[in-house]
Chain A
Amino acid sequence: DTAVSQTPKYLVTQMGNDKSIKCEQNLGHDTMYWYKQDSKKFLKIMFSYNNKELIINETVPNRFSPKSPDKAHLNLHINSLELGDSAVYFCASSQGTRAQFFGPGTRLTVL
């Protein structure tokens, strides 16, 4: 009965590879997000989707491409991974602008 789930929890990969992180929410929320939390613990918004439509795209390299097949899912695909992409990526969801519910995070390590 997990509210927001992400897979995988850990991802270790080489520079230059392409990888995906999946996110699913079973709360019936209409808005989903991707955040990046770097080593200094700053939590920064990357993307926001409302009803499957991209509404926020912060200054993120276009190697990052989110995809929302339906309201309950928001996946993140990253091409040509770089060392600086190493971080913890959190998916979150909310109903409108109310409280956000976060997933457990995916720790990405690029070697």
Chain B
Amino acid sequence: SQKIEQNSEALNIQEGKTATLTCNYTNYSPAYLQWYRQDPGRGPVFLLLIRENEKEKRKERLKVTFDTTLKQSLFHITASQPADSATYLCALDNRNSGYSTLTFGKGTMLLVSP
């Protein structure tokens, strides 16, 4: 069966360090993968999209990698700040139904301590 797994329920790191979040998937062949940020009581906010033929994508302090052989994406936040504390969701393109929809992982809660 299809599965998306994001690492650990919560990740605690110190301000200034690099946070690395993992998204592993099985029984998918996504054409692209997206990362979203969700703050408590709010809707998810799009951060980055990476396509299957791209190994890496960067945006300011954010970096995403996509390894279709390992079936894994890594999401890095460098020089992390307390304001980066949120839940981060990975989402895969799912074409099983004939149309493309996103299937979301459960998310990883990141807590950056000052």
Contacts and interface: CB of A to CB of B under 8 A. Distances in A.
Contact of A99 (B34, B97, B100, B106): B34
Interface residues of B, number: 21
Interface stretch (A14-22, A36-44, A60-68, A72-80): A36-44
Interface of A: 4, 33, 40-45, 48, 50, 55-56, 90, 92, 97-105
B87 interface: yes
A43 B44 contact: yes
Interface of B: 32, 34, 41-46, 49, 87, 89, 93, 97, 99-104, 106-107
A105 B101 contact: no
B94 to A, nearest CB: 9
A102 B99 contact: no
A92 to B, nearest CB: 7
Contacts of B32: 97
Given A48-B99, A98-B49, A105 B104 contact: no
B106 A92 contact: no
A99 B43 contact: no
